[in-house]
Structure 1
Amino acid sequence: MSTDFAPTFEKKFHQKVIPGLLMVLEDDQNPRVQAHAGAALVNFSEDCPKPILVQYLNEIMAKLEAILSAKFNELVEKGTKLVLEQVVTTIASVADTSEEQFVAYYDRLIPCLKYIIQNANTPELKMLRGKTIECVSLIGLAVGKEKFIGDATEIMDLLLKTHTEGDLPDDDPQTSYLISAWARICKILGKQFQQYLPLVIGPVMRTASLKPEVTVMDNDDMDEVSGDDDWHFVSLGEQQNFGIRTADKASACDMLVCYARELKEGFADYAEPVVKLMVPMLKFYYHDGVRTAAAQSLPCLLECAKVKGSSFLQGMWEFICPELLKAIETEPEINVKHEHMYSLAKCIETLGKGCMTEDSLKELLRIVDAILKQHFERAVERLDKRKDEDYDEVVEEQLEDEDNDDNYTLGKVADIIHALFVTYKEDFYSYFDHIMGHFVKMMEPDQPWSDRQWGLCVFDDVIEFGGPSCIKYQQYFLRPIAEGVSDKNAAVRQAAAYGCGTLAMNGGPAFAGTCAEVLPRLAEMINDPESRLEENINSTENAISAVTKILQHNSASVNVDEILPHWLSWLPVWEDRDEAPHVYGYLCSLIETNNTVVLGPNSSNIPRLIAIIAESFHRGAICQKHPVAQRMISIIRQIQSSGEIFQLCVNQLTAEQQVALSELLNE
């Protein structure tokens, strides 16, 4: 129930479930019941919103610590380990959800857990040791580097000792726990983990290179291992099944991705052997997770290899590119295909202009063209199925899943086009012309909302990265952008509003008239009574940002002073972190130049301006290190130096705003 009905189940029934499970955890007479209670608590805490779980943290941890201590003694006296294994896993799960709140229990738990890792050396305790290794690394990730650093070296030494004292056999349960723990510790330590790389890379590479174990099983044999995620089955008839066991290969591949992502140039020496391992695994059809990890690793490995020089990097890309293009075209699983497409987009962005040869660019456009043709064909098929006499709720559910998959595929196509525009700017126009018709069609009013959304996103890139040259496409994008601002769907409105803003910033003076024409539509969207609802807030903030960009960058046909009071009344914004710097940057410019409309007669708007800035920091709208945030802080300090006016302003703030302001000024 915790898993199937998450997170509604957790939100509604936490008051019943958590105390109930804690009560059953005390059933010392029935260890299996205790273990199941611990397992159920794992399921519950995994999907439980953090603020809810934290309310019960003291009760949960008091119980788990007591059981850990009692069962540890029981292990020493009687050798029973069932409940102990489970409790260690439950502690790990609770730490994972509670994150920094778990720091209060760290000092009491870690010594006991380290003792288990040190002393659980016999074959029958391998699983307990593996789960304890997992627990310690998850606690480290939860509490963060500052708290964990004191134990990190000792824990890494304990884990490495396992391998240096003799290689573990491939089927040792500790292997997967060790490999995952090293990756978590790498995430915690960052660059400081580099010293351990020569020691851990061997076992991880060996596990990632494992050949799958293939066997034929009858139904009874299959039932015995059916709960094991490492096994995948293909039926060969009524009684026989083709079983493939990929052991820990997928998780080892994930760990290599983690090392490359976290260590960057620190992983450069391993980039070549890892890329030679990963590229062929784009076709490892036994396991989706392996192919996914192979795709995810590629942009990270290219990033690592940059320090090796451009010719090394180019050679690596020549090895990757044709295989990645083939994999995108032939991948049978739609979710994995999406990963391959996203990987290609990231590779192009990582390498920059000139990375694609003429031939590879043509091949990519041929593949994208085929994907988009299939998209429209499938949409027609679904339309026919909805008119079919066999159409019912079950069919509709299946069709909705297909709709969602297609929507996601369009998103990945947009990622690739975005990467090409970011990299090649207006030089990509001549290639874009070959597939442009698809995106024009997607923006037609009778298309589904997801088509309209992604069509607009692609033309947003045409404007943003092509600059004033985008005028050659204006016949295609002007009407959809202007009408999209008033669309019923929030995602379409957001893409259209972003287009208005980028037209103002990047389109040049030729679009001054268009900017003036879309202003009333943007204002209407922002002033709608439901504009700040959760489902509308992002499109609304994009509209506010679009108005900002028009006022700041393309206001030749606009009366700025007339619009500024309305604009000011729409602040603060905080939801869209990408757009917030544009809005607050403009606000700073207006204050810094003593704009009379914004400051008000006799500076009467200052309390309101301080409240906007305080609320933006309280909501985390903008990172404190951002140059715009620094300008906002300078403005606050300047007003602070003017004496008692500042204190009057502060007194009018909410308690949260006062705290945010106080933290800013005490930095």
Structure 2
Amino acid sequence: MAEQQQFYLLLGNLMSPDNTARKQSEETYENIPGQTKITFLLQAVHDAAAAEEVKQMAAVLLRRLLSSAFDEIYPGLTVELQTAIKTELLNCIQAENSSNIRKKVCDVAAELSRNLIDDDGNNQWPEVLKFLFDSMATDFAPNFQKKFHDKVISALLQTMEDQTNPRVQAHAAAALINFTEDCPKNLLIPYLENLVQHLHIIMVAKLQELIQKGTKLVLEQVVTSIASVADTAEEKFVPYYDLFMPSLKHIVENAVQKELRLLRGKTIECISLIGLAVGKEKFMPDASAVMQLLLKTQTDFNDLEDDDPQISYMISAWARMCKILGKEFQQYLPVVMGPLMKTASIKPEVALLDTQDMENMSEDDGWEFVNLGDQQSFGIKTAGLEEKATACQMLVCYAKELKEGFVEYTEQVVKLMVPLLKFYFHDDILERMTTMAAAESMPLLLECARVRGPEYLTQMWHFMCDALIKAIGTEPDSDVLSEIMHSFAKCIELMGDGCLNNEHFEELGGILKGKLEEHFKNQELRQAKRQDEDYDEQVEETLQDEDENDVYILTKVSDILHSLFSSYKEKVLPWFEQLLQLIVNLICPHRPWADRQWGLCIFDDVVEHCSPSSFKYAEYFLQPMLQSLCDSSPEVRQAAAYGIGVMAQFGGESYRPFCTEAIPLLVGVIQAADSRAKENVNATENCISAVGKVMRYRPECVNVNEVLPHWLSWLPLNEDKEEAVHTFNFLCDLIESNNPIVLGPDNTNLPKIFLIIADGVANESVKGEDGCSKRLANVIHQVQVSGELWTQCVSTLNEAQQKAIQDLLNTA
């Protein structure tokens, strides 16, 4: 007891304003063994007699201990002490009267929970789940849904039936929304019948309550729950469609009072989500009536107040209706586009304020501020930005779904979107969403405009191009920047050779060079931070996040270069040379695997699109590419293997010795014991494809007769769909030329070939519209005319494979 009291004094001194006393206490605390610290801290947290500040400090230190030193301390504790920690934390949460301390103890429990769930989602503290169920938990997506769906769904449904406590019902419905949004479809389906029956009973009861008493809280949540379940269940919701749609339409028709605006908006959302889930065929009988309801609301749009919640629901519902109806939606555009453009054109109020002005304004009034210095701040009023962001996303949806049917509106939309590529307030998520929607729209609008001919298309592109390049050079937010870069690359691919002038190339070259130099500089800074005395796991977590952001931008640099190589071919190489040494730096052996992967991908594009001119750069990348075939990283192996394949296919005579040198390396990767493991399969399939391309395009580089039986045994490719088509086309070449090794003596290999084709079709490695599919179907047809051989081939297939063969014959 005395020791515990001494520890309380120590905790008190840790908060002392006296620097000397506090420093001595910190040194004393650091020298206490970890197990003793945990014991004393836990007792302090749970001691009702302890001072509140002591309990708060104990909870903070306990959480910090579990966060920073869990692996060093916790596994070494006795089972009894581990159990005591879990039990005491849960007891303390229930017994503690101070909300401040209870929150801090919840933080401790959360930290312990996080550490007690392994990478596969296995929970080593099951008691906490029961505790959460008893306290009305929402979700710990996605592992929570996978492991505890049976307990959660039944608990939520039971709680939703609590008619005496409407607020509890509403919270249960809200929890169900959170749960189903992240619940895998296959887990939800077994509960679907039970779920919809409960939801229907509650909806009907609450609809009666609305009519009789005017209460709407639970009904609002239940309507959204229905929408969430339908959204997850998709076509499996079809049998229940007629159960809900009449009541939902009734709500939209009759909930016209001002206080029911939110309910009406959520019901509109629910109807459109159900329509999207069940599909056009089931929804069409109601589509006309639903469209009339939406049109009536749309007609009254100008009478709605700016903060009317129906606005954002309406805008989203129109976009879903567009997805459902497809081209048939085009007739509604004249009604929809006016209000949508009005909402998308909302201009946020901005102001440059001095300190005194800012004191007279409040964030509660919808203003947010960024300090520009000691005396000035930049302010933006964010009211209306959510609706603006939603409207811009809907314009993207219309362009994507309607394509040339949207051409009438491309000019006004592009004039709206291009200025949005630059925004003011980088901390505001809504503005980021708006800018990302603007970027995404650019290639879609060009695609819509194609129907008006090259001159109109070129004018539109010229309006976009400068703004896109400038945005790539100035945008500080990595998520927004990546979307802009991706959009720019798509535009280049769409517009093709000649779409950039010399000034564009000069500006773009400087920007991309800067991005690559910044990439290397940031890596150096992160390495320096790892040497700091303050470096710990939390710092490393931050550095990893920064690294992922940098790599993602690197992928977008690769996207832009890919678009330029594929459009301009070897003509772009003189411009590319200003970046060459930086790309070479990426593939140096000491660089991180992601650098080497994307550096190799860039050189893959050089070979594929600029051959045979690419060979003048061979000294920079050929040996690293060959060495990378045996790299420990599967991503690097995959990029290198793809490079060998395009060397064989496009490289020309100069690359012949390297194709020969690569074959044993490729075979070694394919035949490795773990080559088909999940993390390795994509790299392995690229190696198989590369071997096939060498045999197909450079047969002089390999003993085809020796390798071909092995290659056949490695088929089909099921993961990399693009490479699968290459292998199937080569297989068709061999079959159509009656290759004796492939067909075998007296066609004995045909059952094996049938199996390869059936697996490929079943795994959607080839699709009905592909030219490759027609070739494969011809092979099947030729066998079909020979009754005995056909029977023999089909008899080796299971039911799914037989269906795949039949589907191929029907569709190709």
SS across alignment from 1:257:
helix
Q: Which of residues 569, 586, 595 is equivalent to 1:451?
A: 595
Q: Would you say 1:545 and 2:689 are equivalent positions?
A: yes
- Decide whether the 8 Å contact of 1:89 with 1:131 is kept in 2: yes
Shift of 1:437: 1.0
Q: Which of residues 444, 453, 457 is equivalent to 1:313?
A: 457
Q: Would you say 1:67 and 2:211 are equivalent positions?
A: no
SS across alignment from 1:322:
helix
- Decide whether the 8 Å contact of 1:214 with 1:244 is kept in 2: no
Shift of 1:485: 1.2
For 2:393, give the aligned amino acid: D
- Decide whether the 8 Å contact of 1:234 with 1:243 is kept in 2: no
Alignment match, 1:556? 700
Shift of 1:659: 3.2
Whole-angstrom distance in 2 between the partners of 1:24 and 1:517: 68
Alignment match, 1:353? 497
Whole-angstrom distance in 2 between the partners of 1:166 and 1:526: 62
Q: Would you say 1:631 and 2:769 are equivalent positions?
A: no
Q: Which of residues 295, 310, 330 is equivalent to 2:439?
A: 295
Q: Would you say 1:206 and 2:206 are equivalent positions?
A: no
| Greater alpha carbon shift after TM alignment, 4-13 vs 39-48 | 4-13
- Decide whether the 8 Å contact of 1:512 with 1:555 is kept in 2: no
Q: Which of residues 243, 251, 254 is equivalent to 1:108?
A: 243
The Cα offsets for residues 313-333 of structure 1, whole Å up to 9 and x where unpaired, read as 222222222222221111121
- Decide whether the 8 Å contact of 1:171 with 1:247 is kept in 2: no
Runs of 4 or more, structure 1, over 6 Å off, are: 1-4, 214-221
Alignment match, 2:656? 512
| Greater alpha carbon shift after TM alignment, 15-24 vs 393-402 | 15-24
Q: Would you say 1:608 and 2:758 are equivalent positions?
A: no
For 2:464, give the aligned amino acid: I
Shift of 1:509: 2.6
Cα RMSD after superposing both structures = 2.2
Whole-angstrom distance in 1 between the partners of 2:438 and 2:182: 28
Alignment match, 2:214? 79
Q: Would you say 1:647 and 2:791 are equivalent positions?
A: yes
Shift of 1:67: 1.5
Whole-angstrom distance in 2 between the partners of 1:152 and 1:438: 56
Whole-angstrom distance in 2 between the partners of 1:616 and 1:25: 47
Whole-angstrom distance in 1 between the partners of 2:529 and 2:360: 36
For 1:73, give the aligned amino acid: Q
Q: How does 1:20-99 map to 2 (within 5 A)?
A: 20-99=155-234
Percent identity over paired residues: 53
Q: Which of residues 252, 255, 270 is equivalent to 1:117?
A: 252
Alignment match, 2:119? none
Change (3 A) 1:166 1:250: closer
Structure 1: give runs of 5+ residues left out of the alignment.
226-230
Alignment match, 2:382? 244
The Cα offsets for residues 270-325 of structure 1, whole Å up to 9 and x where unpaired, read as 11111111111112224111111111111111222222333322222222222222
Q: Would you say 1:192 and 2:337 are equivalent positions?
A: no
SS across alignment from 2:382:
strand
For 1:178, give the aligned amino acid: M
Whole-angstrom distance in 2 between the partners of 1:232 and 1:530: 57
- Decide whether the 8 Å contact of 2:348 with 2:381 is kept in 1: no
Q: Which of residues 283, 287, 290 is equivalent to 1:152?
A: 287
Q: How does 1:176-187 map to 2 (within 5 A)?
A: 176-187=312-323
Shift of 1:220: 13
Whole-angstrom distance in 1 between the partners of 2:388 and 2:537: 40
Whole-angstrom distance in 2 between the partners of 1:29 and 1:597: 77
Alignment match, 1:13? 148
Alignment match, 1:575? 719
For 1:272, give the aligned amino acid: E
Alignment match, 1:280? 419
Shift of 1:196: 0.7
Q: Would you say 1:500 and 2:638 are equivalent positions?
A: no
Alignment match, 1:586? 730
Whole-angstrom distance in 2 between the partners of 1:478 and 1:523: 18
Whole-angstrom distance in 2 between the partners of 1:372 and 1:179: 40
Whole-angstrom distance in 2 between the partners of 1:632 and 1:48: 38
SS across alignment from 1:365:
helix
SS across alignment from 1:171:
coil
Whole-angstrom distance in 2 between the partners of 1:579 and 1:530: 20
Whole-angstrom distance in 2 between the partners of 1:195 and 1:221: 45
Alignment match, 1:340? 484
For 1:596, give the aligned amino acid: P
- Decide whether the 8 Å contact of 1:342 with 1:416 is kept in 2: yes
Change (3 A) 1:285 1:4: farther
Shift of 1:45: 1.2
Q: Which gives a bigger RCO, structure 1 or 2 (Cα 8 Å, sep 6+)? A: 1
Q: Which of residues 267, 291, 295 is equivalent to 2:406?
A: 267
Whole-angstrom distance in 1 between the partners of 2:756 and 2:530: 50
SS across alignment from 1:344:
helix
- Decide whether the 8 Å contact of 1:186 with 1:193 is kept in 2: yes
- Decide whether the 8 Å contact of 2:628 with 2:637 is kept in 1: yes
Change (3 A) 1:478 1:297: same
For 1:190, give the aligned amino acid: G
Whole-angstrom distance in 2 between the partners of 1:609 and 1:8: 40
SS across alignment from 2:538:
helix
Q: Which of residues 572, 579, 584 is equivalent to 1:428?
A: 572
For 1:299, give the aligned amino acid: P
SS across alignment from 1:556:
helix
| Greater alpha carbon shift after TM alignment, 506-515 vs 555-564 | 506-515
Q: Which of residues 255, 259, 277 is equivalent to 2:394?
A: 255
Change (3 A) 1:219 1:399: farther
Whole-angstrom distance in 2 between the partners of 1:437 and 1:220: 52
- Decide whether the 8 Å contact of 1:212 with 1:247 is kept in 2: no
| Greater alpha carbon shift after TM alignment, 630-639 vs 347-356 | 630-639
Shift of 1:538: 1.3
The Cα offsets for residues 380-434 of structure 1, whole Å up to 9 and x where unpaired, read as 1111111222211111111101110011010000010011111101111111111
Change (3 A) 1:235 1:40: farther
Shift of 1:242: 7.0
| Greater alpha carbon shift after TM alignment, 305-314 vs 251-260 | 305-314
Shift of 1:617: 1.6
SS across alignment from 1:435:
helix
Change (3 A) 1:403 1:603: same
- Decide whether the 8 Å contact of 2:773 with 2:808 is kept in 1: no
Alignment match, 2:542? 398
- Decide whether the 8 Å contact of 1:179 with 1:204 is kept in 2: yes
Whole-angstrom distance in 2 between the partners of 1:24 and 1:329: 54
For 1:273, give the aligned amino acid: Q
The Cα offsets for residues 563-599 of structure 1, whole Å up to 9 and x where unpaired, read as 0111011112111111111011111221222211111
Whole-angstrom distance in 2 between the partners of 1:43 and 1:35: 13
- Decide whether the 8 Å contact of 1:3 with 1:47 is kept in 2: no
Whole-angstrom distance in 2 between the partners of 1:54 and 1:624: 30
SS across alignment from 1:579:
helix
- Decide whether the 8 Å contact of 1:91 with 1:135 is kept in 2: yes
Whole-angstrom distance in 2 between the partners of 1:592 and 1:523: 26
- Decide whether the 8 Å contact of 1:272 with 1:316 is kept in 2: yes
Change (3 A) 1:663 1:320: closer
For 2:390, give the aligned amino acid: S
Shift of 1:9: 1.2
For 1:639, give the aligned amino acid: V
Shift of 1:232: 7.5
Q: Which of residues 282, 288, 304 is equivalent to 2:448?
A: 304
Whole-angstrom distance in 1 between the partners of 2:370 and 2:159: 41
Whole-angstrom distance in 2 between the partners of 1:442 and 1:3: 45
For 2:279, give the aligned amino acid: G
